Structure 1
Amino acid sequence: MPHLRPTAIAGLLLALVPAAATLSSCGFDYPTDRVNTIAAGANNRDHSVDALGIRVLATAKGEGRLIGALSNNYDDDASLESVSSPDGTARAADFKAIEVAGRGTVNLAEVDPIDLTGDFTAGDVISLDLTFSTGETVSLDVPVVKNCFQYTQVPTPEAAQSEAAESEDTDGEDTEGEAAEAGAEEEAHAGESHEEEGGDATFNCADVAPAPEGAH
Structure 2
Amino acid sequence: MPHLRPTAIAGLLLLIPAAGALSSCGFHYPTDRVNNISAGVNDRGGDMDALGIRVLARAKGEGQLIGALSNSTTETASLEAISSSASIQAGKFKPVEVTGRGTVNLADGSDVTLTGDFTAGDVIPLELSFSTGQTISLQVPVVKDCYQYTAVPTPTPQGGKNSASAGASSDGAAADAGGAETDGDATFNCSDQAPTPGAVEH
Q: TM (normalized to structure 1)?
A: 0.68
Q: 1:209 to 1:80 in 2, by over 3 A?
A: same
Contact 1:127 1:140 in 2 (8 A): yes
One-letter amino acid matched to 1:111: G
Contact 1:59 1:156 in 2 (8 A): no
**In structure 2, what is the equivalent of residue 82 of structure 1?**
81
Contact 1:83 1:128 in 2 (8 A): yes
Whether 2:122 is the aligned partner of 1:103: answer no
**In structure 2, what is the equivalent of residue 25 of structure 1?**
24
Shift, 1:193, TM fit: 8.8
Written as runs of structure 1 = structure 2, the 5 A alignment for 1:118-157 is: 118-157=116-155
Q: Counterparts of 2:182 and 2:47 in 1: how far apart (Å)? A: 47
Q: 1:84 to 1:203 in 2, by over 3 A?
A: same
Shift, 1:108, TM fit: 0.6
Q: Deviations over 1:56-95 (max 9, x none)?
A: 111221111111111222322221111111x223211232
Identity %: 61
Q: Counterparts of 1:59 and 1:193 in 2: how far apart (Å)? A: 9
- Greater fraction helix: 1
Q: Counterparts of 1:19 and 1:149 in 2: how far apart (Å)? A: 48
Aligned pair count reads 174
Q: Which blocks of at least 5 consecutive residues in structure 2 are unaligned?
A: 158-179, 196-202
Alignment equivalent of 1:117, drawn from 111, 115, 118: 115
Contact 1:75 1:102 in 2 (8 A): yes
Q: Which blocks of at least 5 consecutive residues in structure 1 are unaligned?
A: 160-191, 211-216
Q: Counterparts of 1:57 and 1:125 in 2: how far apart (Å)? A: 12
One-letter amino acid matched to 1:35: V
Question: Tell me, what secondary structure is at the counterpart of 1:68?
Answer: strand
One-letter amino acid matched to 1:73: S
**In structure 2, what is the equivalent of residue 14 of structure 1?**
13
Question: Tell me, what secondary structure is at the counterpart of 1:110?
Answer: coil
**In structure 2, what is the equivalent of residue 165 of structure 1?**
none
One-letter amino acid matched to 2:100: G
**Aligned-residue CA RMSD (Å):** 2.9
